[in-house]
Structure 1
Amino acid sequence: MSTNTEEKKAWAAVPAVAHIEAQLATLEARRRALGDALGPDMARRKVYDDAARATVEGGDFPADIGKRAAKAYRDSLEAESEALGVRAGIDSLKAHLTYLKTTDGAELALTELGKSLMAFLAEVREHIPALEGARSAEEAIQVGSDATEAWKWLTAAVGRLKVLRAAQWNILRPLGDGQRLRELREKGHLEVAGLKPDDVPRDVLHSMTTGLYDVNYLVYLANIGTAWVPTSFDEVEAEAEDVVDIGVPDDSVIDSPRRRDTASSAPLTSP
């Protein structure tokens, strides 16, 4: 199970998936509690061996050896049957969970993730005015304390964006051609809908196509109005059909003085 908090939250919003995952957790715990046990034949044989050993050491061979051996066999058979049943249940539920996560369940989870992204970007927009146009930690300090605090918050928020996009990728990846989906991601189609590369600043496009997010990209994404989480592989393909492929921008093209200043400035806090 993924440790990505946003991914777990998205799947938890899909009732069928949440139910199966809860049942799986219960069965996995039950299997661990059962531990390892002797099979029926070995359990019965142990009764014989224990009886013989006790007799050698001076005791009497049990008059009810058959009853003891039969009970050991039945008890072990029940334990073995329970272990096999639990294991079969786990395998079946895992297969069904995979089915849910590659069909309608994925669309529901991605829809929920999209809601989380929109709520997050709305929160980001609340901190943007305080920057007063600052594009680096140094510029924020020059603007004043409010800008400094906003820059700190936004720097930390970049980490949240990474988690959201990682969750998006994890849910989308099993839904179609992995190589094609990777190509679409590297062209920015998983970041915004209706992408027109010519209208995007080169430094922003670089972040968009590489996943190397920073505060300036987060500010752009929050303000653009077309940030999205596609709900299916086909939806991403449809968005990309009419877009001219300009490739991933070369670092040398965007290495402007402003970009270098921004990149070299140390954040006031780490995400």
Structure 2
Amino acid sequence: MPDVAKAQSRYEEAVRLRRVFRHGASPEAALAAVQDAAIATFTDTGKWSTNFAKDAAKAHAEAVVWQAEAVALRRAEDALKYAAEDARDTMAPDVLAHLNGRLTEILTAAKDASTALGDVTTAEGAIDAGGDALDAWRRLTALLSDLRNVRAAQWDVLTSVSHDDERARLRMWAAEGHGEVRGVRLDDVPEHVRAAVRSQSYSIAQLVWLAHSGAAYVPTSFDDLQADVMAATEPLTYDDRGPLRDMSPRVTPGPAYVPSKVPPQSKTPNLDKSNPRPAPPKPNAVVSDREATTLEHF
């Protein structure tokens, strides 16, 4: 993108100018140096310098000019830094979209060229086969360089518009092989392709696989890449409340009826003392006799 390149170029030039700018002293330091020199001369000779005012004015004026330019260069560097970052952040989606379109062109051409290879898998085999196979191998070699450039630019842009914690995650995702194919779990990607993605060292075999997979893409943003990583790594189905449980109602049979045990010495409680004691209940169990309580004697 011309605007991004221009803003970055201006910022880099401002940095260079500030670094090569001559060293100098502030107006206060310049005056202090003239004063120290005059005091030292007076201490040694007992005579005050007749050129003190002229020397002080000259040193102060030169220091003011130096400080003004130094401050201007610092401000220019800061302003151009923010302008470059703003242009980069603003244009990042367009840059990534452009890279995605360029990737599509590369892989389309690679897919067309790979059909002429047949069973050829090495440069030596292409030389031996000659003809269309050799021409296809040469085209794929050139496309391989383009693929590397697109991937390098992709990670540069994503890193430049991300915060520090996001950059750490970008490095981790790149090392794991994310950010290359969409809608495909990493376990379903051949190991030789994953190894090439992790090392960013592609070969013709990986280029051909990406071309025929139809899943290669360039993320449009950090959030886009993060969503793809989550989709590629999380379980296909899960229950955030734990394993499924059978919650259908269950019928528990009631306990079998067991009649109360009534020993022979049982008595019916007398609820009304004005009436005679009721007849005792009919016993249905035999238990050992027990000693009568105090209340049963009355």
**Same fold flag (TM > 0.5):** yes
Q: Which residue of 2 aligns with 1:168?
A: 154
Match of 1:84 among 71, 81, 103: 71
8 A Cα contact 2:11 2:84, kept in partner: no
Q: CA deviation at 1:152?
A: 4.1
Q: CA deviation at 1:63?
A: 6.2
Q: Which residue of 2 aligns with 1:253?
A: none
Pair 62,147 (structure 1): closer, same or farther in 2 beyond 3 Å: farther
The alignment partner of 1:72 has SS state of helix
Q: Which residue of 1 aligns with 2:106?
A: 120
Q: CA deviation at 1:190?
A: 0.8
What RMSD in Å do the two structures reach over aligned CA positions? 3.8
Match of 2:229 among 213, 224, 240: 240
Q: Which residue of 2 aligns with 1:40?
A: 27
8 A Cα contact 1:131 1:147, kept in partner: yes
Q: Which residue of 2 aligns with 1:204?
A: 193
- Partners of 2:203 and 2:8 lie apart in 1 by 35
Q: Which residue of 2 aligns with 1:229?
A: 218
Q: CA deviation at 1:215?
A: 0.5
| Larger relative contact order (CA 8 Å, sep ≥ 6) | 1
The structure where helix makes up a greater share of residues is 1
Pair 41,143 (structure 1): closer, same or farther in 2 beyond 3 Å: same
The alignment partner of 1:242 has SS state of helix
Q: Deviations over 1:10-64 (max 9, x none)?
A: xxx163x445323313423432453212433454567789999xxxxxxxx9966
Q: Count residues in correspondence.
A: 228
In structure 2, the gaps of 5 or more residues are: 40-47, 236-298
* TM-score, normalised by the number of residues in structure 1: 0.65
8 A Cα contact 2:180 2:216, kept in partner: yes
The alignment partner of 1:83 has SS state of helix
Pair 93,130 (structure 1): closer, same or farther in 2 beyond 3 Å: same
The alignment partner of 2:78 has SS state of helix
* TM-score, normalised by the number of residues in structure 2: 0.60
Q: Deviations over 1:117-166 (max 9, x none)?
A: 23333443454344234111232123214423432443454344233222
Residues 41-56 of structure 1 mapped to structure 2, 5 A cutoff: 41=28, 43-44=30-31
Match of 2:80 among 72, 75, 93: 93
- Partners of 1:221 and 1:26 lie apart in 2 by 40
Match of 1:27 among 10, 14, 18: 14
8 A Cα contact 2:140 2:204, kept in partner: yes
Q: CA deviation at 1:201?
A: 4.2
Identical aligned pairs, as a percentage?
A: 33
Match of 1:139 among 125, 132, 141: 125
